[in-house]
Amino acid sequence: AAWEKQVRHSSTPRRVNGFSVLVTGAAGFIGSHCSLALKKRGDGVLGLDNFNDYYDPSLKRARQNLLSKHQIFIVEGDLNDGPLLTKLFDVVPFTHVLHLAAQAGVRYAMQNPQSYVKSNIAGFVNLLEVAKAVNPQPAIVWASSSSVYGLNTENPFSERDRTDRPASLYAATKKAGEEIAHTYNHIYGLSLTGLRFFTVYGPWGRPDMAYFFFTKDILQGKPIDIYRTQDQKAVARDFTYIDDVVKGCLGALDTAEKSTGSGGKKKGPAQLRVYNLGNTSPVPVGRLVSILEGLLNTKAKKHVITLPRNGDVPYTHANVTLAYKDFGYKPTTDLASGLRKFVKWYVNYFGIESKHSKETQHFDESS
């Protein structure tokens, strides 16, 4: 059928020993960037996404359009659709799965807890059930989250630190994912690598994240809330630029060992790894806002308020020594440079003129 042809074409590598990667969440922020990077270096990529409306689906469609210009096909479907996943693995012998599909966002978990359970727990298990049964098994790299460190404030966070104080149901489902990965590795020999991303931002980003809606609200003259902790300290994040995260994802895929398979014919345990992928330099939210004010040439209407108990954690800070040692991960983009690229994209994407047109022009000339 035409569908099968598209699936095969998209996932066929164009380089010698190239990968065939199933990217779940390919219409999402990180998934779309990773899909393009893999395709550009000659790997085969097939996307899977359910195009849900957690945030404006038109942005997901626009990312899909961009990917289709690079011959990347996205199958529209849900992680919980077992027969669909089985069919994809029947058609394509995927060497790797980059599993990024999830219900993201920490505050929304108070409004729709079930969506986190469905995608992040049931959906992940469904994917692992399918992957364990195919031969040969693909190596799986999946998105965990810095949120597993919960209320920790001892800095910086290393992979061995405690993760038993999740502050949101989102964090709890990401922590559960790490435990689930352990069992599938232990019983079925699946090769699994978890990546704890730290507040990732950049062009084509997520409208539910603070840097994105702060930009929108500042431009529209609307007030923004800046959280401070209960003891009136600045809330800070280890904001990480998308290109750095993409390099980390590719590094993790490149160093993922093949699964041993159920029964463990190969000697030694299959791989189970977890890495921090952060920027190693936490920035207070107030500083994020002043950088945006400068780039947008507009003063924000700031409301500084005490952090509500809404799932947010006070502080994140990654130690990335392990990812550096194992696949040379080294973040290179500071927040000001990364936000400049985000604002350039934002202004172009939403076609903003008026007093920001000078900035637009400058950006256009430099690109």
Chain contacts with ligand UGA (rule: CB under 6 A): 104-106, 145-147, 197-199, 209-210, 225-227, 235, 237, 285, 312
By the 8 A CB rule, do 224 and 304 touch? Answer: no
Radius of gyration of the chain (CA): 20
Q: Which stretch binds ligand NAD (CB under 6 A): 6-14, 98-106, 211-219, 299-307?
A: 98-106
Minimum distance from residue 106 beta carbon to ligand UGA (Å):
5
Q: Does 11 bind ligand NAD (CB under 6 A)?
A: no
- As a whole number of angstroms, the distance between CA 177 and CA 142 comes to 9
Question: Which of the listed partners (ligand NAD, ligand UGA, none) does 259 bind, with a CB threshold of 5 to 8 Å by partner kind?
Answer: none
Distance of CA 20 to the CA centre of its chain: 20
Q: Which does 101 bind (CB under 5 to 8 A by kind): ligand UGA, ligand NAD, none?
A: ligand NAD
344 binds, among ligand NAD, ligand UGA, none (CB under 5 to 8 A by kind): none
Residue 159, classed as helix, strand or coil, is coil
Q: Which is nearer to ligand NAD, 95 or 276 (CB)?
A: 276
Is residue 135 classed exposed, middle or buried when 0-12, 13-18 and 19+ CB atoms within 10 A define those classes?
A: exposed
Among 123, 166, 311, 314, binds ligand NAD (CB under 6 A): 123
List 21, 27, 180, 318, residue binding ligand NAD (CB under 6 A): 27
The length of the chain in residues reads 367
Q: Does 97 bind ligand NAD (CB under 6 A)?
A: no
Q: Which of 81, 71, 79, 5 is nearest to 44 (CA)?
A: 71
Instruction: Judge residue 361's burial from the number of C-beta atoms within 10 Å of its C-beta, 0-12 exposed, 13-18 middle, 19 or more buried.
Output: exposed
Instruction: Please identify, using beta-carbon distances, which residue of 53 and 365 lies nearer to ligand NAD.
Output: 53
Alpha carbon distance 42, 48 (integer Å) = 19
Q: Dihedral sign for Cα 257, 261, 265, 269, please.
A: positive
Q: CA-to-CA distance for 232 and 314, rounded, in angstroms?
A: 11
Structure tokens that stand for 227 in this block? 């959280």
Contact call for residues 116 and 109 (beta carbons, < 8 A): yes
* Catalytic hit among 170, 184, 241, 346: 170
Query: CB of residue 198 vs ligand UGA: minimum separation in angstroms?
Result: 5
- Binding to ligand NAD by residue 163, rule CB under 6 A? no
| Shortest distance, position 316 Cβ to ligand NAD, whole Å | 10
For the chain, report the end-to-end CA distance as a whole number of angstroms.
41
In the bound complex, what is the minimum distance in angstroms from residue 116's beta carbon to ligand UGA? 11
Q: Hey, what are 176's tokens?
A: 């559960």
206 binds ligand NAD (CB under 6 A): yes
Count of residues interacting with ligand NAD (CB under 6 A): 27
Query: Is residue 116 annotated as a catalytic residue, yes or no?
Result: no
**203 φ/ψ angles, rounded to the nearest 5 degrees:** -55, 145
Nearer to ligand UGA, 222 or 362 (CB): 222
Nearest C-alpha neighbor of 259 from the set 94, 123, 84? 94
User: Binding string to ligand NAD for residues 50 to 79, with x set by CB under 6 A, is what?
Assistant: xxx-------x-----------------xx
Q: Which residues bind ligand NAD (CB under 6 A)?
A: 25, 27-31, 48-52, 60, 78-79, 100-104, 119, 123, 143, 145, 197, 199-200, 206
Annotated catalytic residues are 170
